[in-house]
A = this chain, B = another copy of it.
Amino acid sequence: MQPGEAILALGALAQEHRLALFKLLVRAGAEGLPAGAIAAELDIPNSSLSFHLAQLNRAGLINQTRNGRSLVYSANYAGMNALMGYLMENCCAGSTSCGTEASCAAPATSSSERKSA
């Protein structure tokens, strides 16, 4: 993951309605929810919701599929996990004493990401 992608994802989540929306989809699981149901649940005008859905989608945090007339959105767990890994990579510069101190609790996979992941 590159800095620009992480900023896109973080910025997508750093907004009241979008955070509520993402967490709603996280709770909903793989089935996801149609846009209309989300708008009703969050009490947001359709046009505003569409804007926010586009942001989350562009950031790779949600997926879109069609079911009949409805567009169904679901959380992209892989994207989320990639983001979290990126934030903690190279924690403490990989020092071994770090993970043992309840810091760097995240998986210190480091894995030296390829540039073109």
Interfacial residues, chain A to chain B (CB-CB below 8 A):
3, 6-7, 10-11, 13-16, 19-20, 22-23, 26-30, 77-78, 80-81, 84, 87-93, 95, 98, 101-106
Contacts and interface: CB of A to CB of B under 8 A. Distances in A.
Contacts of A98: 29-30
A27 B106 contact: no
Q: Is the interface of A mostly helix, strand, loop or mixed?
A: helix
A10 B14 contact: yes
Nearest to A103: B77
B105 A27 contact: no
A60 to B, nearest CB: 14
A6 B27 contact: no
Contacts of A105: 77, 81
A105 to B, nearest CB: 5
